[in-house]
Structure 1
Amino acid sequence: MSGILIATLLATVSVKIPAGFSSGDLLYSDCGGSRQFVVGYVAGWLDKWNRDEYLARRIFTEVVPAPKAMVNSAYFANSVGVNVCVPVGTTAEAIGTTLCTFLEENPGIREATGDELMTTLIAYKYRCPVP
């Protein structure tokens, strides 16, 4: 009996999860409500960014990578090409609010993916100072 209950619960939850990647339209649709989806998306994006940056730096500085790893790292470095300096203490809620404002002021870009929008927003708002 508990197996049926768990299967039913999982089926119900999975029906509510949108297929595909997040888009600006989907993110913007949550901006007028509780913003839980936006804040969760921002937090996940930042976690992924931090992990990718850590791995790229580790590959370049700590070990002599295998040729395939070097190609992947070079692709990562060339494709990202953004220095991000989010100040300590900046919350996902604050960035989520900024993202909602960005989407409201620029309705023509809402068809872009969430990743493209976050990369653009973070690169513009939190670019590292040039030494």
Structure 2
Amino acid sequence: MPGILIATLLATVSAKAPMEYASGDLLFSDCGGSRQFVTGYVSSWLDKWNRDEFLARRAFADAAGDPQAMVSITRLGHSVGWNICLPPGTTPIIIGEMLCHFLQENPGVRSAEGDDLVMTVVSRSYGCR
């Protein structure tokens, strides 16, 4: 019995293809269909953005009193997207629709990484005042 379990586990692990970053082309290919992939991608992006922003803000608070550290953390926070203010009720479906529209209107950017494209769409629409 343990041999079957190990063989099943090894077959499952070896069958998985290595994950690559989603490009705009891949995201756009789902825009004409169910948009489940786009919505899932945006949802994951939002989860990571929330976590990164939290860590950057905490590091900034911990760096108080050290000007050089504060400058470094501020640069990190800016790259993470501190300047994004999502209003209540914003969903991955809404952002996914915005992303699909952006990709439709800007075919020249579809070779970019999905992460950069979502950040561009979100920061343009939900930049803090």
| TM over 0.5, shorter chain | yes
Q: How far does residue 18 in structure 1 lie from its aligned partner after superposition?
A: 4.3
Preserved contact between residue 22 and residue 113 of structure 1 (Cα < 8 Å):
yes
TM superposition score normalised by structure 2: 0.80
Equivalent residue pairs, number: 123
Q: How far does residue 81 in structure 1 lie from its aligned partner after superposition?
A: 5.9
> What are the equivalent positions in structure 2 for 1:75-114 lying under 5 Å apart?
75-80=75-80, 83-114=83-114
Which structure 2 residue ranges, 5 or more long, are not aligned? Answer: none
Q: CA RMSD in A?
A: 2.3
Partner of 2:31: 31
Counting aligned pairs with the same residue, the percent is 49
2:16 is aligned with 1:7? no
Q: How far does residue 5 in structure 1 lie from its aligned partner after superposition?
A: 1.7
Amino acid corresponding to residue 110 of structure 1 in structure 2:
R
Higher-Rg structure is 2
Q: Per-residue CA shift, 1:36-63, capped at 9, x if unaligned? A: 22111111111111111111111222x2
Which structure 1 residue ranges, 5 or more long, are not aligned? Answer: none
Preserved contact between residue 23 and residue 111 of structure 2 (Cα < 8 Å):
yes
TM superposition score normalised by structure 1: 0.79
Q: How far does residue 33 in structure 1 lie from its aligned partner after superposition?
A: 2.2
